[in-house]
Structure 1
């Protein structure tokens, strides 16, 4: 049952369901269909992208935000096959770099599995060509995974950002372990609460990063794209409100200064403040 079942996420519990016709869909790590469940648990499958006549219909049986090692091992353990799709066979995972690490030799390139379909294959830098055994790479990832799991037990903005910073010294910015942190972080920057301009910019940056990845790995209709677009819209709306409020405060401040000036001639205090601000900013003062 576990091999052919679909996981159904309900509000308080996850259950499994058997859908004989849907089980005929082949697996692909970049699927061309999208599935949802109605209120009565009817499985609805829609084309996520334009599908050519004669093209195989595909679904995904694992997590599309996992790296190649993790997806293939999960499929082998749960579905009893090893995927050899175009994404799994590409060292860069279609240029998304979900499994790439920083090269410790040149510091500029990223190491990727030479043969992604061989879990023991050595890693090669895409810049300097250095080789690294899979053994230390796996050990590093297991250590970082433990840290990610620890933070995910009780996530906070500070804890997630600190670990993202630490991971970014070792991993590609799109690495799946960093995405494991930035996905909840995107939600933790809740735009229903007052956020600073820097926090709103950070949330927008995270949303756009996920959209770039979704364009490649979950093209067309997808749950990931819907969630990220919702979060991005929240951030955009909040940023617009922030800008309007800031402009309103600046307008009030300008009107107050005009009233104090009386004749409209600038007072010494305001000029001194402007010169001081210009000097602090390193700009011209007119001297």
Structure 2
């Protein structure tokens, strides 16, 4: 994605964005410029389009005249650069939430770096032990038909040079780094097949020097395999550069069958990093990436995605960014000791139960300190304490086969040890909700509604706006409130004003969920969820109507 080594407070047959700008009828305001030609008459320009800063005009009349054609090309973003951050995207005008900025297909896609068996023709997972292989290169396939796939033909003849069959996976087993070479070979093929895309590839940030200096195992093994075994006719520096560019710029997506693959996109790579993103990414079933604003964005503000995942604790986010992208994040969330008021990585102070231990950094060393009593813990102690709890949740029997009372007791214990906005609590709540879904009792429904509401409150800070994850949590929160209301009503013990208020909250959540999930591209995995949310809105509103009319049952 751009220079991940610098910009620490910011830093992953193409559809064109213009069809999403048809409602933008206002001509962008102008800025005075010099030494440019008018886009209409060619004379010296005095103004630049305020929307995209890429077209110039001699005066307002020619800008108005040109707007009919230019409005379809007036980009809502522009590329800027700085010595620290390299190239990145900023908003070229104020952007509303939910606005599609662009949609593009990848330069190339392929298996993830370390992958279980996957077909090189269609990228689907390979099941079982009796699977076909390509007759030329001997790599596993899901069917013999995939041997002639246009995708696999890109690398097949090169892989066939491995006559000793060092590279092809031999059998089912743990994920293997052998697949790391596939996307590399496909991207290297751009040099002769698609020269303009090859130039884009070479323009990408590559941390190859860091990988070589650190003697990164996967990087080193892959480059040596391509150069020494496959004997590709390219110099080692170019192979190192492209492999580094893939590592720094590729994005993990899901194939149609849910298999993890990765892809390199020409513009998505220019999106900067922040641990609280303002842009949302969605891949279509055809493999295109749609980039959409999650919140409103001011003109000149960088466009951010989160490279690490928003729900990781502070140290894990910083470790990934340092190890993979070679910078320390200094976004608004990371530089705020409270993590935007959530204290997401901070435990309670053991001495002052109502206070938290906050991170204090000095010369690359972090300690955690209470600002009230000055109790202090080392970073190692804090991380080990969290890791111990995470290991407990990785065991299948923590919540499995437990009663609602036992699950509630465990959640209360975690809230006492940490708090209800901590990373450990979120991990526990997600595990508990998976179990509670199968328990259909009044107590279970109440606990489900309570946990989903707390999750929604937390996620609305960590991942605000119109993100798919927040849409799903809104949907689940609304359903939980609806189910709880139904149960109370059918028990005959419901207080109608309170029940009405709860259903109104449920309807609000479900409507927002339907809106957010309805923004996802057609055919995406979220499409059925949008329909489900809309159905639940109808159910909730019908229930409210019957309740207000004195009805006695919920459907």
Bucket of the pairwise TM-score, normalised by the shorter protein: 0.7 to 0.9
Listed as ranges, the matches of 1:19-168 within 5 Å are 19-115=265-361, 120-151=365-396, 156=400, 158=402, 163-168=410-415
- Distance change (3 Å), C-alpha of 1:154 and 1:183: same
2: CA distance, partners of 1:55 / 1:111: 32
For residue 258 of structure 2, give the secondary structure of its aligned residue in structure 1.
coil
Residues 160, 182 of structure 1: 8 Å contact kept: no
Moved over 6 A (4+): none
CA contact (8 A) 2:346 2:356 kept: yes
1:209: Cα distance to partner? Answer: 1.1
Give 5+ residue unaligned stretches, structure 1: 250-287
**Equivalents in 1 of 2:462, 2:432: separation in Å?**
20
State the Cα distance separating 1:21 from its structure 2 match: 0.5
- Alignment partner of 2:424 out of 159, 164, 177: 177
Q: Is the 8 A contact 2:393 2:431 kept in 1?
A: no
When residues 73 and 118 of structure 1 are mapped into structure 2, their CA distance, relative to the original with a 3 A threshold, is farther
Q: Tell me by how many angstroms 1:194 deviates.
A: 5.9
Give 1:92 deviation, angstroms: 1.0
- For 1:102 and 1:109, the matched residues in 2 are separated by 6
| 1:224 and 2:469 are equivalent in the alignment | yes
How many residues are paired up?
245
| Aligned with residue 478 of structure 2, among 233, 236, 259 | 233
Partners of 2:381 and 2:493 in 1: CA distance = 56
Residue 106 of structure 1, CA deviation: 2.8
Per-residue CA deviations over 1:128-175 (Å, capped at 9, x if unaligned) read: 232222232232222222222224x88637386565444334222211
State how far apart, in whole Å, the 1-side matches of 2:254 and 2:364 are: 31
Q: TM-score with structure 1 length normalisation?
A: 0.77
| Rounded Cα–Cα distance in structure 1 between residues aligned with 2:399 and 2:258 | 20
Question: Does the residue aligned with 1:114 lie in a helix, a strand or coil?
Answer: strand
Q: Please state whether the residue corresponding to 1:138 is helix, strand or coil.
A: helix
Deviation of the 1:248 alpha carbon? 9.4
Distance 1:127 1:111 in 2: 9
Change (3 A) 1:208 1:93: same
Write the distance in 2 (CA, Å) between the matches of 1:199 and 1:118.
Answer: 48
Work out the CA distance in 2 between the residues paired with 1:232 and 1:126: 35
Pair 1:157–1:17, CA change in 2 (3 A): farther
In 2: Cα distance, 1:108 partner to 1:238 partner: 34
1-structure distance, mates of 2:363, 2:416: 26
State the partner residue of 1:266: none
Does the 8 Å CA contact 1:4/1:79 hold for their aligned counterparts?
no
Pair 1:194–1:122, CA change in 2 (3 A): closer
2:183 aligns with none
TM-superposition CA deviations, 1:85-129 (whole Å, max 9, x none): 1101111101111111121223332111123x8763221114323
Residue number in structure 2 paired with 1:8:
253
Deviation string, structure 1 residues 29-75 (Cα, Å, up to 9, x no partner): 11111110111011001010111111111111111011111111112
C-alpha displacement of 1:185 = 2.4
Contact residue 108 and residue 127 of structure 1 kept, 8 A: no
Kept in 1, the 8 Å contact 2:400–2:435? The answer is: yes
Distance 1:96 1:19, change over 3 A: same
Q: Once superposed, what is the RMSD of the aligned Cα atoms?
A: 2.5
The alpha-carbon deviation at position 247 of structure 1 amounts to 2.3
The 2-side partners of 1:185 and 1:118 are apart by 40
Aligned 8 A contact 1:69 1:119 in 2: no
Larger-gyration structure (1/2)? 2
Residues 109 and 128, structure 1, Cα contact 8 Å, conserved in 2: no
